[in-house]
Amino acid sequence: MIKLNNLQQISILPITTTLQEQIKSILTEPFYDEAETQQTWDELQCELWFLTSKSELSTVVDDIEMLKRALTYNEFEDELDYGAVLILSIVEDSGKGIYMLMPKTLLIELRQYFSIEND
């Protein structure tokens, strides 16, 4: 899993330029520009989590509870190009948001995995 807290870092993700532009457009849409978006992210400690496979769960043990919460209580879910999905979850009363970018198939797998864990 790759965690970003700066919009400029989106360019380092191993995804297509088209997908990077699509994500930036969605993230900055509610704001005046990229600078205002980043300022809000800094104030609220927002992050973008990039997940590619369920096997990554073993490397993010410290974030498992936050990931479960984010998958359970999301504000919106946008389907993107190339079978990707972008999800926003507000995970703290302070307004902290976690955006999760992952393949749609992984989202389905993770929801099944955590619902089994919660039974």
7-51: pLDDT as tens digits: 999 999 999 999 999 999 999 998 888 999 999 999 999 999 999
Predicted pLDDT of residue 30: 86
Q: How far apart are CA 39 and CA 7, in angstroms?
A: 10
**Sign of the CA dihedral 84, 107, 40, 59?**
negative
Predicted pLDDT of residue 49: 94
* DSSP E strands, the chain: 2-4, 47-50, 76-79, 84-90, 97-103
